[in-house]
Amino acid sequence: MKIVKVKNENKRKYMNLLLLADESEIMVNKYIENGSMYILYDHGVKVKF
């Protein structure tokens, strides 16, 4: 298992997943740069959280 931190400039690539948790893209855009985002690779499968 491998965990990789997503760089701020790449976070918007995952907007579709973020919108599952918060339906307002306007709100997500307000806090997307403040938080940390990680990708988990488990047995070669990419899982984002």
Q: Which residues contact 40 (CB under 8 A, 6 or more apart)?
A: 1, 2, 3, 46, 47, 48, 49
Return the DSSP state at 12: G
- The residue with greater pLDDT, 48 or 25, is 25
Q: How many domains does the chain have?
A: 1
Global pTM reads 0.69
CB 35 within 8 A of CB 6: no
Using the predicted structure, report yes or no on whether residue 46 has a pLDDT greater than 70. Answer: no
Distance CA 29, CA 4 (A): 22
Which residue segment(s) compose the domain that 40 sits in? 2-48
Interval 4-18: pLDDT, tens: 999 999 999 999 989
